[in-house]
């Protein structure tokens, strides 16, 4: 999804959505420029890191002026593929899958959940939030038909790998894996794991070991 990031370090690329969201807000409020100190305060990234990140894509802030908001926003929109729609599918419409269907990335016009898949006869054939739920057996054809290359995986963990194997046959390129299963994929497929327990444990660790003064 991130294009032309050959020279941008992965840690920087990961912060782009954070910067993008705040710059979009500034742009919509009519603000034309922003300093790295203001950005730092808003996105909670130190200003030296912001200046280094921004230097990777040629945005050099001027002393006393800061950064031009529309210039950077334009760059981000292109880099993050915000100017084209990415179709996404949800695999497994249980507690978590249903919550994500209802959320459907409302604040982002460029990511759209277009289909969902399950094996439960009570769910297959229904429509939730205008999103049709199909049977897993139809997944390969429908993903290709709907040009879906990114999926969110919310099936039970013991079903994760077999489901992923079927996803690979449908040429899926990116998987957001909510299951605790460690899944195997070929090198050209990217898997990002989301684990709320680890995130909470990290938060608790930081609260205990680095309390704010
Ligand atoms: P759930 O049991 O409510 O839902 C699972 C759904 O998947 C059901 O609708 C079921 O019919 C469907 N399903 C089963 N096999 C399938 C298959 N092969 N293909 C498609 N659909 C299939 O479970 P949940 O609470 O929504 O959790 C879903 C997954 O997310 C689990 O693996 C769980 O461990 C994980 N989870 C992760 C986090 C996190 O922080 N990452 C938090 C909660 C749950």
Return the CATH architecture of domain 10-79.
Answer: Orthogonal Bundle (1.10)
Render pLDDT for 123-137 as a digit per residue (tens, 0 to 9).
Answer: 999 999 999 999 999
Question: In angstroms, rounded to a whole number, what is the distance separating the alpha carbons of residues 98 and 101?
Answer: 5
Render pLDDT for 146-161 as a digit per residue (tens, 0 to 9).
Answer: 999 999 999 999 999 9
Closest Cα partner for 16 from 94, 97, 100, 73?
Answer: 73
Considering Cα of 12, then 18, then 22, then 27, what sign does the dihedral take?
Answer: positive
Beta-bridged to residue 91, according to DSSP, are: 117, 153
- Which pLDDT belongs to residue 75? 80
Beta-bridged to residue 150, according to DSSP, are: 88, 174
Domain with CATH 1.10.10.10 in the chain: 10-79
Q: Which of 27-31, 185-189, 199-203, 208-212 has the lowest mean pLDDT?
A: 208-212
The response to whether 155 counts as a known ligand-binding position is: no
Kindly report the CATH number that applies to the domain delimited by 86-197.
Answer: 3.40.50.720
Where would I find the beta strands (DSSP E) of 72-178? Answer: 86-91, 111-118, 127-128, 131-135, 150-153, 174-177
| Contact residues of ligand 1, CB 6 A cut-off | 91-97, 117-120, 136, 154-157, 159, 163, 178-180, 194-196
Confidence of residue 207 (pLDDT cuts 50, 70, 90): confident
The response to whether 109 counts as a known ligand-binding position is: no
Question: In angstroms, rounded to a whole number, what is the distance separating the alpha carbons of residues 72 and 35?
Answer: 12
Q: Which of 72-81, 173-182, 198-207 has the highest mean pLDDT?
A: 173-182
To test the pocket of ligand 1, the residue of 98, 161, 178 to mutate (highest count of ligand atoms within 8 Å of its CB) is 178
Domain with CATH 3.40.50.720 in the chain: 86-197
The overall average pLDDT reported for the chain is 88
The response to whether 97 counts as a known ligand-binding position is: yes
Contact 105, 120 (CB under 8 A): no
Render pLDDT for 53-67 as a digit per residue (tens, 0 to 9).
Answer: 888 877 666 777 788
Q: Ligand 1 centre and the CA of 196: distance in Å? A: 14
Render pLDDT for 111-124 as a digit per residue (tens, 0 to 9).
Answer: 889 999 999 999 99
């Amino acid at each position: 999804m991130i294009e032309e990031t050959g020279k941008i370090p992965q840690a920087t690329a990961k912060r782009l959505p954070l910067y993008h969201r705040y710059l979009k807000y500034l742009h919509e409020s009519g603000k034309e420029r922003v300093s790295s100190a203001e950005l730092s305060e808003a996105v909670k990234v130190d200003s030296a890191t912001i200046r280094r990140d921004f230097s990777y894509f040629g945005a050099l802030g001027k002393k006393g002026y800061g950064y031009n908001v529309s210039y950077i926003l334009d760059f981000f929109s292109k880099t993050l593929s915000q100017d084209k729609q990415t179709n996404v599918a949800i695999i497994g419409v249980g507690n978590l899958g249903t919550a994500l269907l209802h959320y459907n990335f409302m604040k982002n016009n460029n990511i759209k959940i277009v289909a969902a898949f399950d094996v439960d006869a009570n769910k297959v054939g229904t429509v939730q939030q205008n999103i049709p739920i199909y049977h897993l057996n139809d997944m390969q054809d429908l993903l290709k038909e709907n040009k879906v290359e990114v999926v969110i995986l919310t099936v039970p963990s013991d079903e994760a790998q077999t489901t992923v194997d079927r996803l690979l046959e449908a040429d899926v390129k990116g998987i957001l894996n909510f299951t605790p299963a460690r899944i195997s994929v070929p090198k050209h497929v990217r898997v990002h794991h989301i684990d709320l327990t680890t995130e909470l444990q990290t938060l608790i660790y930081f609260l205990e070991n680095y309390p704010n003064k």
